[in-house]
Amino acid sequence: MKTKKYFGTDGIRGRVGEQVINPEFVLKLGWAVGRVLNEKFGESTVLIGKDTRISGYLLESVLEAGLSSAGVNAWMLGPMPTPAVAYLTRTFRAQAGIEISASHNPYYDNGIKFFSSAGSKLSSDIETAIEEKMHEPMKLVEAAKLGKAKRIDDAPGRYIEFCKSTLSVKNSLVGLKIVLDCANGATYHVAPAVFRELGASVIEIGVDPDGFNINDHCGSTYPKYLSKVVVAEKADLGIAFDGDGDRVVMVDHKGEVVDGDELLFIIAKYGFSAGILQGGIVGTVMSNLGLENGLNEIGIGFIRTQVGDKYVIEALRENNWLLGGESSGHIAHLGVTTTGDGIISALQVLNAICYRGETLHKLKSEMTKYPQSMINVSCKTPKSFGDHPKINESLTEMSKHLGKNGRILLRPSGTEPVIRVMVEGKDEALIAKVAEELAKVVGKVVESA
């Protein structure tokens, strides 16, 4: 398999104005995507959505121009969650969908995520074909064959109705007081409507995007403020999405954060009890050991993949299973939709709450988490340090300190220029010390390179 130059684990991502996220590159990318689609399908249409960061206006325009120059139609959705693009690509029978987003990253980053006509991530073969086209000279089709562009004004309403349909008809959110944190991102105008129309009393925060405040001390990567609001408002629970709406974390009525591993456990146990769970659960190398132990105790199988929802979904399909996810709150339920969806994942948790008649706090307490410590070490080329002798020597030594009651994971991030150092075990003080010492070793190696 060829090593791809531009595509990472979740499309193409970078800082605006540098390397790949600039007008010239994205224009050529749109053209390359259009050429590949036309060669594969003939006349093609691509849906384009975006989150709320200011660079989305620019990238949306040049992507549309690139696609048009290759003879492909571009249907613009405006600000929409990433999973909404996946869903609408299927329902409109488009040949591909694109979301302009850097997910949980700050506003000065952006990215391009792609979906196939089936609403799933592009195959590796298609990504490779697009990269190969990037090396060819850009040539416009004749004027009569240029692609057309239009806006889909009712896209939010279509997606809202789809999300609502995933809550069991037996359940209602009437009587629930919910705080929603939309991270000033792509869910700001759809998530409140979903939960309110299902009967919940909704308090909204993070719903005032200005192009710069996406993920800024809000959303799933910063649930502290949500916790405070839930407690102050005496709400039943809180729900936080990331900037593009494919991740979710929740907060119980006590203000305690419920992360992706705990949410996955709650959904899995509900599905098992209700007799609707098919097969086992897929997690990643970052999934908490408590999740694996908790699932095994109730007879649910569990396997791990490398980090990235792409790999989780691949493993689900290979095993003919339906449910998997990541600690970050990226949960995929293939029995409901084709990709990770924060809103739909939250609704699956609410299905469990209604079915069990228990609070989120009670359901969370049924899984015992192992303490984890994670430190990010900045590194321009993190993949180049995967097998360094000094790092390997330190890994071996630190593993001896943990013994059988812990584990260490060292990996380059697929979305950020960092090396992630994760240590997990029963002794919280010990794992914090091990993580700190290992991160120092990694940092010195990086600095001396």
Which of 199-213, 291-305, 387-401 shows the lowest per-residue confidence on average (mean pLDDT)? 387-401
What average pLDDT does the segment 100-112 reach? 96
> Higher model confidence: residue 393 or residue 342?
342
Residues 303 and 423 in one domain: no
Residue 167 included in any domain: no
What average pLDDT does the segment 70-87 reach? 98
Is 103 noted as a catalytic residue in this protein? Answer: yes
Whether 301 contacts 323, CB under 8 Å: no
Local confidence band at 386 (pLDDT 50, 70, 90 cut-offs) = low
Task: Give me the chain's average pLDDT, please.
Answer: 94
**Which pLDDT score is estimated for 449?**
67
Residue 406 included in any domain: yes
Residues 145 and 197 in one domain: no
Residues 317 and 389 in one domain: no
As given in the structure block, the two tokens for residue 129 are 């074909």
pLDDT at 382 over 80: no
pLDDT at 368 over 70: yes
Residue 7 included in any domain: no
Residue 252 included in any domain: yes
Residues 235 and 263 in one domain: no
**Which pLDDT score is estimated for 61?**
97
Domain boundary among 86, 121, 153: 153
Residues 235 and 295 in one domain: no
Residue 168 included in any domain: no
Residues 327 and 396 in one domain: no
Local confidence band at 385 (pLDDT 50, 70, 90 cut-offs) = low
Local confidence band at 379 (pLDDT 50, 70, 90 cut-offs) = confident
Residue 228 included in any domain: yes
CA–CA dist 236, 275 (Å, integer): 27
**Which pLDDT score is estimated for 403?**
77
List the domain range (segments joined by +) for residue 382.
Answer: 372-448
Residues 33 and 118 in one domain: yes
Residues 388 and 350 in one domain: no
Residues 380 and 405 in one domain: yes
Query: 323-359, pLDDT tens digit by residue?
Result: 999 999 999 999 999 999 999 999 999 999 999 999 9
Residues 314 and 358 in one domain: yes
Local confidence band at 384 (pLDDT 50, 70, 90 cut-offs) = low
CA 99 from chain centre, in angstroms, equals 12
In degrees rounded to 5, what are phi and psi of residue 306?
Answer: -70, 165
Residues 50 and 138 in one domain: yes
pLDDT at 405 over 80: no
CATH of the domain at 395: 3.30.310.50
pLDDT at 160 over 80: yes
**Which pLDDT score is estimated for 416?**
78
Residue 348 included in any domain: yes
Structural domain count, the chain:
4
Residue 373's DSSP bridge partners are 423
pLDDT at 241 over 70: yes
Residue 95 included in any domain: yes
CA dihedral (421, 426, 429, 430) in degrees, to 10, reads: -60
> Higher model confidence: residue 298 or residue 381?
298
CA–CA dist 432, 446 (Å, integer): 21
The one catalytic residue in 44, 68, 101, 103 is 103
CATH of the domain at 219: 3.40.120.10
**Which pLDDT score is estimated for 409?**
87
In degrees rounded to 5, what are phi and psi of residue 159?
Answer: -70, -40
Local confidence band at 174 (pLDDT 50, 70, 90 cut-offs) = very high
Residues 239 and 297 in one domain: no
Give how far Cα 194 sits from Cα of 89, 113, 157, 424, Å: 20, 24, 10, 37
Nearest to 162 by CA among 341, 380, 413, 415: 341
